[in-house]
Copies of this chain bind each other. A is one copy, B any other.
Amino acid sequence: MAEDGREVPTLDEVARVAGVSRSTASRVINGRTYVSAKAREAVAQAVTSLGYSPNMLARSLAMKRTNSIALVVSEHGDRVLGDPFFARVLRGVHAGLAGSGLQLVLLMAQDEQDHGSMANYLTSGHVDGALVVSLHGEDPLPAQLVASGLPVVLCGRPLAKVAVPYVDADNFNGAGQAAQYLIDQGRRHVGTIAGPRDMAVGIDRLSGWRRTLSMAGRPTDAIAHADFSLEGGMAAMEQLLTAHPGLDAVFVASDLMAIGALHVLRGRGIRVPEDIAVVGFDDSGLAATSVPPLTTVRQPIEELGRTMTWRLLAQFEGDVELPPSVLLPTELICRETA
């Protein structure tokens, strides 16, 4: 550490300069009552003349509250930073923090086995709570944190059966919306390119699709799983096409996969949406600029971050009766593929 130029003034000095006790100075600084106007004035003077600003560390130690929360990315940092989804969540979190006086500590796994040290850091009193963005479901971190008594809110439904509050997009109903839209358009045989079976988003979007179709008495046999990648989407589309020649619509569980499907369709000379309608999910930047522009289910990503933050802050306030989880409504964005 560099030795700082001027010494940082402490509360004691402020008190001394103002000619009052430390207690009184503290009261003034924290805007507490039971302080005479004279004392208040003197302290205010001293504060400005000394350029005093309270040492947060000491305050935190005394109050057992740090005024900062962690945004934990329990994935390897590099992988996630390029992800626009993450950037938007971060944006939402940041917006949600506005005016709360809380600071954001960014915590990302460095190595694969960094979880221990992260849990350690989090539970050792450095932050008041944590927002966890955990991309794969079987992550033990959230459970550990909750067990240690740290307020935690997750981004996305956890797969593990742990009682930790989370905020997620309403994937189930979003997929339902898409399916319903396709049905309403008179599509007879609606397939789906689903996400991985071991991710909550994949599962939820699949079951939403399935439920809506079966309620409408339509077949739910045309299912192909993929891994949310472009290539995966392409392969799944091929697969669907061979297995179900009669398909006239497909709900794809992510925009990126949908773009892949679109490629395949174009390659085969199948017209979209005339022959086969396509609906994606996410409304990522890709959707608007694909050719043709993708009809998709928008999930409110910034809102996700904002809501997580709200949920955590509410927990700080001691709000009781907080919903254990909240699902954010999705919106069907109609463009040209359906």
Contacts and interface: CB of A to CB of B under 8 A. Distances in A.
A119 to B, nearest CB: 9
Given A54-B124, A65-B1, A149 B6 contact: yes
Contacts of A8: 123-125
A61 interface: yes
Interface stretch (A77-85, A214-222, A245-253): A77-85
Contacts of A68: 105
Contacts of A56: 121, 124-126
A87 interface: yes
Interface residues of A, number: 56
A2 B124 contact: no
Contact of A78 (B95, B97, B149): B95
A5 interface: yes
Interface in A232-253: none
A53 interface: yes
A274 interface: no
A82 B87 contact: yes
Nearest to A124: B53
B148 A57 contact: no
A53 B119 CA distance: 10
A123 B81 CA distance: 28
B58 A5 contact: no
Given A6-B149, A103-B105, A149-B5, A94 B77 contact: yes
Contact of A82 (B4, B54, B81, B91): B91
B81 A98 contact: no
A120 B47 CA distance: 13
Contacts of A193: none
Nearest to A55: B125
A125 B87 contact: no
Contacts of A71: 106
A104 to B, nearest CB: 5
A42 interface: no
Contacts of A124: 8, 53-56
Given A78-B91, A94-B77, A125-B8, A149 B106 contact: no
Nearest to A285: B82
B105 A77 contact: no
A169 interface: no
Contacts of A87: 81-82, 87
Leading 5 A-B pairs by shortest Cβ distance: A4-B149, A5-B149, A81-B91, A53-B124, A98-B110
18 contacts: A1-B151, A2-B150, A3-B149, A8-B123, A54-B124, A57-B57, A57-B66, A61-B61, A68-B105, A71-B106, A81-B87, A81-B91, A81-B94, A82-B91, A87-B87, A98-B110, A98-B111, A104-B106
Given A5-B147, A58-B61, A82-B87, 17 more contacts: A2-B149, A2-B150, A2-B316, A4-B150, A6-B148, A8-B124, A53-B123, A56-B121, A56-B126, A57-B57, A77-B94, A78-B91, A81-B87, A81-B94, A94-B110, A97-B110, A103-B107
